[in-house]
Structure 1
Amino acid sequence: MLPSDLLSYRLRGETIIPKRLTLDDATIAIANEQIECFQNCLGKTQGELDKQLHDLEGDSPNYRTKRGLAHLLKNSFSTFEIVSPLEPQLLRQRVFTEAAKTPPLPHQRNNTLQTLCSTLSQELNREVLPSDILQGLYADLQENRILTQFEAPDPSTLIHRYNLSQVQGIFYRASQVILNAHRNVPGEYKLLFRYLKLFQLMFYIEGDVDHGFTISLDGPTSLFKSSTRYGLAFAKMIPALLHVTKWSLKATLEQKDQYTGATKKGYFSLDDQCDLVSHYSRGKTYDSMLEEAFAKRWEKTKTDWILEREVNLVPIPGSVMIPDFRLVHPDGRDYILEIIGFWRPDYLRKKFYQVRHADVDNLILAISERLNLEKSGIKTSEVPARVIWFKDKLNPKAVLEIIES
């Protein structure tokens, strides 16, 4: 995605309109120019690449567009590596130690390099040249990293990624998003809800499968402290949303006035006819880090209980609940497992409201000990579910103890 300083948008009243590039000859030529620059710098340092990119900008008025395209190429299509015979910090120690053995005379430099080359060649069982040492000495600096791989995209692909990134950046400062899913088939709903859970977003759902759902999402600026991490997670949801067929959203944004610095509200709308192109794979199975780590630990646990990710929606009055996992035993017993991550007092109260009104008796809640439930006025004793407390990771043994007790 693009950093905030490379986002471009205009205002129409209180409505925010992000910049989009058209697929015309002039724009394609700019994209091609950027791609060729990266291709020509393959095997060179990031510093050399940045210099050539700066030269391409010149005094062009659309320099922000060129910087945005270069940022996407650098972060999504390029691989930069530290190229050095040893870890640069260790190599510096070896060079300075060897240099300290002789007086600091100019002609001793070559002798020091030759001596160290001979020693390292024997240690590493390959030839090490003085140029290797000089290149690797400060190879850990950002500008000295080497562009070792570059997967050149098609110019249109790069332009589509730029347009999507401009829209994603709008959501960095979202306070709330109302998402309407319009009469999709059940599989489409499930796909949408899976994406929301994947990116660990806080959301509340109203509606039903027959008439559609209204989903309220808390944006990053709605937290007690604005979270960059949550803002990025929120923006990452947008390419996934493009795989759902029928939807529309309205976002409320917290914007700073560029002249006064005061915070003011802005608004943004988007729907399934937006012509944005997703670079996410539709068929890929997604997991949050917490869920993925738990699933991997479960695979190593010796038990007859089977952990399933595909869980049916649990209806509750006017809404739906989407559990994280289902636990099934060969004898027919089953439990559903819900892991609670990000939180706000209102979010937790609504989450526990869902739990209390879900007509199920086999629910397990895994709750982080870091959550201050007392501050939220929530008592787990009032929740009709088995509760597991965890710190940084959820242990499968704790879940097994609950369901076997």
Structure 2
Amino acid sequence: MLPTELLINRQNGETIIPKRLPINSEICAIATELIACFQNAVGSTQGDLDRQLSEFEGDSPDYRVKRGLAHILKSSFCTFEVVSPLEPKELRQRVFTLSAQAVPSHQASEATLETLSITLSKELNHEVLPQQIRVGLYADLQENRILTQFEDPAPEALIHRYNLSQVQGIFYRASQMALNAHRNVPGEYKLLFRYLKLFQLMTYVEGDADHGFTITIDGPTSLFKPSTRYGLAIAKLLPALLHVTKWSLSATLQSRDPYSGVPKTGRFSLNDRCGLETHYPPGKPYDSMLEAAFANRWEALKTEWILEREVDLIPIPGSVMIPDFRLVHPDGRTFLLEIIGFWRPEYLQKKFAQVRRAECENLIIAISERLNLDKAGVKVANVPAKVIWFKDKLSPKAVLEVLE
């Protein structure tokens, strides 16, 4: 994402409009030249790269656009490493200790490097040259890090990433965001809720799978003390949201006038027709090897029961529970299956609390015997669901016995 100083937007009334670059020959040419600059800098220091980028910017009035594109390349597609025979701090200590034994001079410095190179070559079992010591002495400074790898994107992909970053920056100062996830494929819901949990966002969920969900997210400026870090967490949610087919959102933004310092309110809205592209990977077919193995074994089972993946959601107050599988019989009977394998005590407490609050009559829970439920403070007897115990693998036949 982009830092605040590289965000470009304008305000029309209370509506905030972020900068978006068109994908045309002019912008693609700028992106191509920047990418080539990074390609040529592989093996050079970050300081050398920064000087080339500064020359590329020149006195152009669109320097913030070029700087923003370069920032994305540097932060998302580059690998910078400290290249030194030893940790630079330790190397400096060795050099300074050795050099203190002689009167400072050019000849003494060269002798010190030569002596230490022989010593380190023996210690490390490979040749260490004096020049490597000289380079590694301050290799931990940011400008001395070496660009060792660059994953060059297509120019269009870089522009899409820039446009997404400009929109993400809008949420840095959000006081509240209302997200409407309309009727979608349940697997898309699960991916969205997983990212909500991953970024530790404070949410309140209303709705159901048939009509969609309304998710209210408190922003950083709604806290006792505004937190840019929390605003970044909201911004990180946007690429995950782009995996959902139908959605819309509206956000209330709080900022201060840069001249008067007077607080002012802004509005921003977005929907699934925004034209942004995500770089987040799509959701995995299965959350674990345990689930994948169970699904594969079920296919070999001769039964009329059909196993479906993540196609039902159970609304609970303020949240939602998404079972792993749904089992459907041709006569209309339906059961939901949740597999609880190897998890931390905190997760187990939350998961079983969800099961109790859901009060779902057709829910089956498969629980690993390896779990220490007593340590987690979980009482299975209090769970309103059918329970199956398993050891290493969940047997489809055991589930079938419960169904029949």
Letter in 2 for 1:180: N
Contact 1:311/1:322 (<8 A) preserved: no
Counterpart mapping for 1:41-56 below 5 A: 41-56=41-56
The corresponding residue for 2:321 is: 322
Q: Which amino acid aligns with 2:47?
A: G
- What SS does the aligned partner of 1:107 have? helix
Partner Cα separation in structure 1 for residue 322 and residue 187 of structure 2: 16
Partner of 1:258: 258
Over the residues paired in the alignment, what is the CA RMSD in angstroms? 3.1
Q: Deviations over 1:271-315 (max 9, x none)?
A: 00000000011134899xxxx9xxxxxxxxxxxxxxxx9796433
Q: Does 1:338 align with 2:345?
A: no
CA distance in 2, matches of 1:225, 1:310: 39
SS of the aligned residue for 2:255 comes to strand
On the 8 A contact 2:117/2:129 being kept in 1, the answer is: yes
Tell me, in whole angstroms, the C-alpha distance in 2 between the residues paired with 1:399 and 1:314: 27
- Give the match for residue 197 of structure 1: 197
- Look up the match of 2:270: 270
**CA gap 1:231/1:78 in 2 versus in 1, 3 angstroms:** same
Aligned partner of 1:384 in structure 2 is none
Q: Give the partner amino acid of 1:338.
A: K
CA-CA distance at 1:400 after TM superposition: 4.4
1:286–1:140: structure 2 CA closer, same or farther, 3 Å change rule? farther
- Give the TM-score normalised by the residue count of structure 2: 0.76
Rate the CA distance shift 1:144–1:311 in 2: closer, same or farther, 3 A: farther
Does 2:254 match 1:242?
A: no
- What one-letter code is carried by the residue in structure 1 that aligns with 2:115? T
SS in 1 for 2:92: helix
The structure with the largest alpha-carbon Rg is: 2
Q: Tell me, which stretches of 5 or more residues in structure 2 are unaligned?
A: 289-308, 325-337, 342-346, 362-370, 382-404
The 3 A distance-change label for structure 1 pair 324 and 260 is farther
* 402 and 54 in structure 1: CA distance in 2 versus 1, 3 angstrom threshold: same
- 1:91-240 correspondence runs (5 A): 91-240=91-240
Measure the CA separation in 1 of the matches of 2:113 and 2:24: 54
- The alignment of Structure 1 onto Structure 2 pairs a total of residues equal to 335
The percentage of aligned residue pairs carrying the same residue is 64
Secondary structure in 2 aligned to 1:27? Answer: helix
How far off its partner does 1:236 sit? 0.7
Instruction: Verify the 8 A CA contact 2:202 2:217 in the aligned structure 1.
Output: yes
Shift of 1:396: 6.0
CA 1:241–1:9 in structure 2 vs 1: closer, same or farther (change >3 Å)? same
Output the CA distance in 2 between the equivalents of 1:126 and 1:67.
Answer: 41
- Matched with 1:388 is none
Change (3 A) 1:187 1:90: closer
Partner of 1:402: 378
Residues 37-63 of structure 1: per-residue CA shift (max 9 Å, x gap): 111111011011001100111000000
- 1:396–1:61 CA distance, 2 compared to 1 (3 A): farther
5+ unaligned residues in a row in structure 1: which ranges? 293-308, 330-334, 340-351, 362-394
In structure 2, distance between residues paired with 1:257 and 1:273: 31
Shift of 1:10: 0.7
